[in-house]
């Protein structure tokens, strides 16, 4: 099974300034601080923020998602692009549970 999810968000801040946070591992720290109702914890399992980095994102209890692991497969600092693949947990677990129960 294959699928993709893309999200674009327009801000009033220059892309270079946004990338100084989003293009680094600091984004994980900030989402925990600014959005604790959505993200309980963001941990680096492996890597330094570049290609191959694996993150484990833990959601607050009661959200029904538990956790989600993703791996960065592309980090393009020149064009401000970051691509990741889901490894386990989150919507992946829910989808597979749904498919296996049918």
Active site residues: 82
> CB 53: neighbour CB atoms within 10 A?
19
Element (H, E) at 93: helix 90-101
d(CA 36, CA 59): 9
Q: Name which of 73, 42, 74 is nearest 57 in CA terms.
A: 42
């Amino acid at each position: 099974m294959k699928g993709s999810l893309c999200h674009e968000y327009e801000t009033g801040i220059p892309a270079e300034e946004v990338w100084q946070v989003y293009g680094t591992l600091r984004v994980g720290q900030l989402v925990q601080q600014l959005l604790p109702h959505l993200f309980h914890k963001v941990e680096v399992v492996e890597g330094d923020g570049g290609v191959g980095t694996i993150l484990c994102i833990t959601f607050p209890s009661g959200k029904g998602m538990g956790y989600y692991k993703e791996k960065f497969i592309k980090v393009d600092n020149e064009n401000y692009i970051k691509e990741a693949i889901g490894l386990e947990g989150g919507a992946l677990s829910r989808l597979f549970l749904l498919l296996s129960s049918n």
